[in-house]
Amino acid sequence: MRLNKQILHLAIPNIISNLSVPLLSGVDTALVGHLPQTYFIGAVAVGSMIFNFIYWGFGFLRMGTTGLTAQAFGAGKRKEIITILGRGLIVALSGSLLIIVLQKPLAQLSFHLIHASNEVEHYARNYYFIRIFAAPATLALYAFQGWFLGMQNARYPLVLTVVTNLLNVGFDFLFVYGLGMNSDGVALGTVLAQYIGLVLAVWLFCRRYRSYLGDMDRKRLFDVARFRRFLSINSDIFLRTLLLVFAFSFFTAKSAEFGDGVLAANSVLMQLWLIFSYAIDGFAFSGESLVGKFWGGRDYSNLRRVIRYLFYWGSGLGLFFSLVYFLFPRPLIYVFTNQQAVVNIALSYMGWTMIAPVLNSFCYIWDGIYLGATATKAMRNTSILALFVFFLPAYYIMRPIWGNNGMWLAMTFFMIFRGLSLWILSRKYIWRPMNE
């Protein structure tokens, strides 16, 4: 019971904070989805997809920081704890400056690869060149949130995420409905909210963890061997995340080739995928924190138990979401758009979204376990196989035969194989090290 309480103590705030992320994305979609033109939905979808590629690629700042911090916390290494945050913020600042400097080449490459209508591309470009300036705040927030989770503190990431997203929603309504803007107002709202969120993160850190600053060691911070390990772990996560983002971005880009109607419908259905994935990630994040803590403290008895309990909670949540999607498909779609043509298209492909939570829950929980154990090479390798052996071949074989259904089938294969391969490799990377 004590372990289950620890899991829920970390998972529930994470679920709430995580759900606010796709709900924000859903609000963005709903705001432009109720504007007269369909192409505004596509513009936000395409613009968000590009930033998913950019920002999710830097998701290692959150994921890698959590696992490393949790292990240092479990081992009681204060100097290493604060040093990990310092390294994360250095990488965040460097990465964000690189993104801003390279914004035009990134835009040219992105829009060259995406075959959207002229209207969608025009408004997506406007969205892109506004939101790009949120990069420093966005990446720094990743590092802070990962560090707080590694410290077994799920409340601060909850506060950060909810406050930032509420501000974002407020700014969106102000700019879109108050000032008559469209997708560009959504982008501007994101920029302002992210910087306010960063100020809040610094304040929260100083409020509770100021004493750790006295343990900061500059020599340790820039120690080549330790920094190399930090970058090695994070480079594996970076590549793995990039492959995942590529799969979802490829899906969105290819949806655009079917026309604005299918692009809009697939974007709405993908919002439902994201809502579940962010919910289940609440348990995955608690897995990162607890697995990392028990791994660092070599408490293998509790480690085995927490892994088992995580799968109970994760599969149960997946079943719940599948049931909700099965019972209420039409009302859920109407939340995002009232355009009947888009609703009808989305309903015809809703079956894929109904089965996704049950099937996808296992790979998300395994992700959290592997991140807590910093077994990142296995995550990288399984993602490579899932993309190139299952997703892309399935897409190119099934799309000519089954159209948009073929794309959804390929995405489903991708998620199933990720979970299956991580389970197979767990004997080597998770269970065997406990017995050595």
Is the CB of residue 98 less than 8 Å from the CB of residue 55?
no
329 has pLDDT over 70:
yes
C-alpha R_g of the chain: 21
- Per-residue pLDDT band at 23 (split at 50, 70, 90): low
Closest CA to 252 of 2, 7, 14, 25: 25
pLDDT of residue 30: 65
Could you read off the pLDDT of 29-59 as tens digits, one per residue? 666 665 656 666 667 777 777 777 777 767 7
- Per-residue pLDDT band at 27 (split at 50, 70, 90): low
pLDDT > 70 fraction of the chain, expressed in percent and rounded: 91
* Rama region for 289: left / alpha / beta (φ>0; ψ in -120 to 50; rest): alpha
pLDDT of residue 426: 92
Is the CB of residue 289 less than 8 Å from the CB of residue 369?
no
420 has pLDDT over 90:
yes
Could you give the angle at the alpha carbon of 25 between the alpha carbons of 23 and 26, nearest 5°? 60
Question: In what helix (H) or strand (E) does residue 90 lie, and over which residues does it extend?
Answer: helix 78-101
Average model confidence (pLDDT) for the chain?
85
Q: Which residue type occupies 116?
A: A
pLDDT of residue 35: 60
Alpha-helical segments (H) within 297-349: 300-327, 329-336, 340-348
pLDDT of residue 260: 78
Instruction: Give the total residue count for the chain.
Output: 436
Domain edges within the chain:
2-434
For range 234-263, the mean pLDDT? 84
Cα 7 from Cα 297, distance rounded (Å): 17
pTM for this predicted structure: 0.80
